[in-house]
Amino acid sequence: MPVATPPKTVLLLGHTGKLGMALEQVLGGNYRIIGKNSSDFDATDFEQVRCLITQHAPDIVINTVAMLGIDPCEQEPELALRMNALLPRFLAELSAASGFALVHFSTDAVFSDRTVGNSCVETDTPVPLNLYGVTKYAGDCFVMNCTPQHYIFRVPVLFGPSGNRRQFVEKMLERLTTDQQPLRISNDIISSPTYSLDVADRVRELLGAQAPFGLYHLANHGTASLFDLMTEMVSQLGLDLPVLAASYRDFPFIGRKNTCTPLSSVKTAPLRPWQQAVSDYCALLRQDGGRADG
């Protein structure tokens, strides 16, 4: 009888974040997943990162570790540079030396604003507006140029199971369920709201099909403001609380905002409409008693 081929080993950095949780859940049936987070290693200590990779000898390294948020990056630029640009460069250099495939995640924040109705595709030239976008684009460039065996997946604002209540969607859901107060949400920040589990499914498909290495945009189909997204969630969850439209200028901020950066792809089919994905996520939340962490 033929000997079964053992599953490939995936070292998943940041496995307890929103995207990491989705990837661990979806890829677990096809790969041997070794998940690591900040309790296991310090991502700013590259020697620790090297030791992890040497110890586990993975076939694929998936990096979901990043410093997120426009204002946090403006406040700690050196840390943002190290996490978002130099860590991906280091991983790419190790990929080139050791032969593992590197999966790197990027963001719509590498682009400048579009007019409504126009989306950002893989062939568009990034023009970052803030330090977060600059450091993420630097990471993209390092990965592209330091290793041929790479996938770069750019994703927009994500919703999905998460243990981090500080990100936008989770923070808003927390306020809805605990404060019982109306929400004021920006209606002038336009994106392509995307379900983390849908992203993970497409990553699994592309890896399984051995799609050509390179850059891909992964986003649910359609565009929406943050106000649209939260209004849809409130409706799907059956919450009797008003969501009020506001401008992002009504809230304090430091860095320049990306106000219209929806993503679409010329290299892979769009994910399902974002409203359908919100419906599935809200069904999961209702099943779990309203918890956003799955």
pLDDT (mean) for 263-271: 95
Residue 178: predicted pLDDT: 73
Q: Which residues contact 45 (CB under 8 A, 6 or more apart)?
A: none
Residue 172: predicted pLDDT: 81
List pLDDT tens digits, range 89-133: 999 999 999 999 999 999 999 999 988 778 999 999 999 999 999
Contacts for 162-170 with beta carbons within 8 Å, 24 or more apart?
Answer: 162/17, 162/18, 162/21, 162/196, 162/292, 162/293, 162/294, 163/16, 163/17, 163/21, 163/293, 164/17, 164/18, 165/292, 165/293, 167/18, 167/68, 168/226, 169/229, 169/230, 169/233, 169/292, 170/292, 170/293
Residue 240: predicted pLDDT: 79
Q: Which two tokens stand for residue 50?
A: 């090297």
pLDDT at 291 over 80: no
Residue 177, domain member (yes or no):
no
pLDDT (mean) for 239-260: 88
List pLDDT tens digits, range 240-250: 788 889 998 88
Closest by alpha carbon to 228, among 279, 177, 190, 176?
A: 190
Residue 291, domain member (yes or no):
no
pLDDT class for 292, splitting at 50, 70, 90? low
Q: Which residues contact 238 (CB under 8 A, 6 or more apart)?
A: none
Residue 53, domain member (yes or no):
yes
- The number of distinct structural domains making up the chain is 1
pTM, full prediction: 0.93
CATH code for the domain in which residue 93 is found: 3.40.50.720
Residue 279, domain member (yes or no):
no
Residue 132, domain member (yes or no):
yes
Residue 47, domain member (yes or no):
yes
Inter-residue contact 214 to 202 (CB < 8 Å): no
Which single residue is written with the structure tokens 């409130």?
Answer: 234
Determine how many CB atoms are found less than 10 A away from the CB of residue 222.
20
The domain containing residue 65 runs over which residues? 9-164+193-222+259-271
**Whole-number average pLDDT of the chain:** 91
pLDDT at 285 over 90: no
pLDDT class for 294, splitting at 50, 70, 90? very low
pLDDT (mean) for 48-66: 96
Residue 77, domain member (yes or no):
yes
Residue 76, domain member (yes or no):
yes
Residue 143: predicted pLDDT: 98
